[in-house]
Amino acid sequence: MTSLLVTGGAGFIGANFVRQTVEQHPEYTHITVLDKLTYAGNADNLKGLPDSKVTLIEGDICDAELVDALVKDHDITVHFAAESHNDNSLNDPFPFVHTNLIGTFVLLEAVRKHNKRFHHISTDEVFGDLELDDPNRFTETTAYKPSSPYSATKAGSDHLVHAWIRSFGIQATMSNCSNNYGPYQHIEKFIPRQITNILAGLTPKLYGTGEQVRDWIHVDDHNDAVHLILSKGKIGETYIIGADNDHVNNKQVIELICELMDLDANAYEHVADRPGHDMRYAMDSTKLRTELGWAPKYTDVDSGMRKGLEQTIDWYRDNEAWWRGTKDNVEATYAKQGQ
Chain residues that interact with ligand DAU, rule: CB under 6 A:
84-86, 123-125, 178-179, 189-190, 193, 205-207, 212, 214, 250, 274, 281
Site membership for ligand NAD, residue 253 (CB under 6 A): no
Site membership for ligand NAD, residue 97 (CB under 6 A): no
What is the end-to-end Cα distance of the chain in Å, rounded? 49
Radius of gyration of the chain, Cα coordinates, nearest whole angstrom: 19
- Give Cβ neighbours of residue 339 (< 8 Å, ≥ 6 apart): 87, 205, 207, 271, 272, 274
> Which residues are catalytic, by number?
124-125, 150
Tell me how far, at minimum, the Cβ of 191 lies from ligand DAU, in Å: 7
- What is the spatial distance between Cα 71 and Cα 306, in angstroms, rounded to a whole number? 40
Among ligand DAU, ligand NAD, none, what binds residue 192 when CB lies within 5 to 8 Å by partner kind?
none
Tell me how far, at minimum, the Cβ of 308 lies from ligand NAD, in Å: 13
Amino acid identity of residue 2, one-letter, is: T
Minimal CB distance residue for ligand NAD: 11
Site membership for ligand NAD, residue 82 (CB under 6 A): yes
Tell me how far, at minimum, the Cβ of 237 lies from ligand DAU, in Å: 20
Site membership for ligand NAD, residue 21 (CB under 6 A): no
* Residue (74 or 186) nearer to ligand NAD, CB: 186
Whether residue 112 contacts residue 137, with contact meaning beta carbons closer than 8 Å, is answered with no
* Residue (66 or 267) nearer to ligand NAD, CB: 66
Site membership for ligand NAD, residue 129 (CB under 6 A): no
Give the orientation angle of helix 306-318 with respect to helix 190-199, to 10 degrees: 50
For the beta carbon of residue 259, count every other beta carbon within 10 angstroms.
14
Amino acid identity of residue 190, one-letter, is: F
Site membership for ligand NAD, residue 12 (CB under 6 A): yes
* Residue (12 or 105) nearer to ligand NAD, CB: 12
Among ligand NAD, ligand DAU, none, what binds residue 10 when CB lies within 5 to 8 Å by partner kind?
ligand NAD
Among ligand NAD, ligand DAU, none, what binds residue 12 when CB lies within 5 to 8 Å by partner kind?
ligand NAD
* Residue (142 or 180) nearer to ligand NAD, CB: 180
Amino acid identity of residue 56, one-letter, is: L
Cβ-based burial of 277 (10 A; exposed 0-12, middle 13-18, buried ≥19): middle
Site membership for ligand NAD, residue 121 (CB under 6 A): yes
Alpha helices in the chain (DSSP H): 12-24, 64-73, 86-91, 94-96, 104-114, 149-168, 190-199, 219-232, 250-260, 286-292, 306-318, 320-336
> Stretches 20-28, 118-126, 131-139, 315-323: which one binds ligand NAD (CB under 6 A)?
118-126
